[in-house]
């Protein structure tokens, strides 16, 4: 079953790429299309962060990951370098889990 999903996903990605080459450039240069294309990666990344932060299997959980994301947001607002943001979030989640305050 998993191989069927992989093959169908691969075919879908290939067809999407092919469809992008077939579309006329005049259609892709429209302001509405450009703005949606510019915002789509941001929305996808935000959705990925939300799912990875609050999801555990088929349920929603609030644990040390939320504190790590909160620390990362604060570090980003303070304009910290990316590596410092990642390390601060990871250390926060690890310390909370090690101390038993969060699972």
49-69 per-position pLDDT tens digit: 999 999 988 888 888 999 999
pTM to 2 decimal places:
0.65
Over residues 71-93, the pLDDT tens digits come to: 999 999 999 999 999 999 999 99
Q: Which residues pair with 60 in a beta bridge?
A: 55
Q: Which long-range contacts (CB under 8 A, 24 or more apart) does 90-93 make?
A: 92/64, 92/67, 92/68, 93/64, 93/65, 93/67, 93/68
The CA angle 61-65-66, to the nearest 5 degrees, is 75
| Residue 54 and residue 62 in contact, taking contact as beta carbons nearer than 8 Å | yes
Tell me the CA end-to-end span of the chain in Å, nearest whole number: 33
């Amino acid at each position: 079953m998993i191989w069927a999903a992989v093959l169908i996903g691969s075919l879908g990605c290939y067809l999407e790429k092919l469809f992008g080459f077939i579309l006329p450039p005049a259609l892709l240069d429209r302001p509405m299309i450009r703005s949606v294309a510019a915002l789509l990666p941001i929305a996808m990344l935000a959705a990925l962060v939300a799912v990875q932060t609050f999801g555990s299997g088929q349920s929603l959980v609030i644990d040390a990951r939320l504190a790590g994301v909160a620390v990362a947001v604060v570090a980003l607002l303070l304009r910290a370098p990316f590596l410092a943001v990642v390390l601060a979030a990871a250390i926060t989640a690890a310390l909370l889990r090690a101390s038993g305050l969060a699972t």
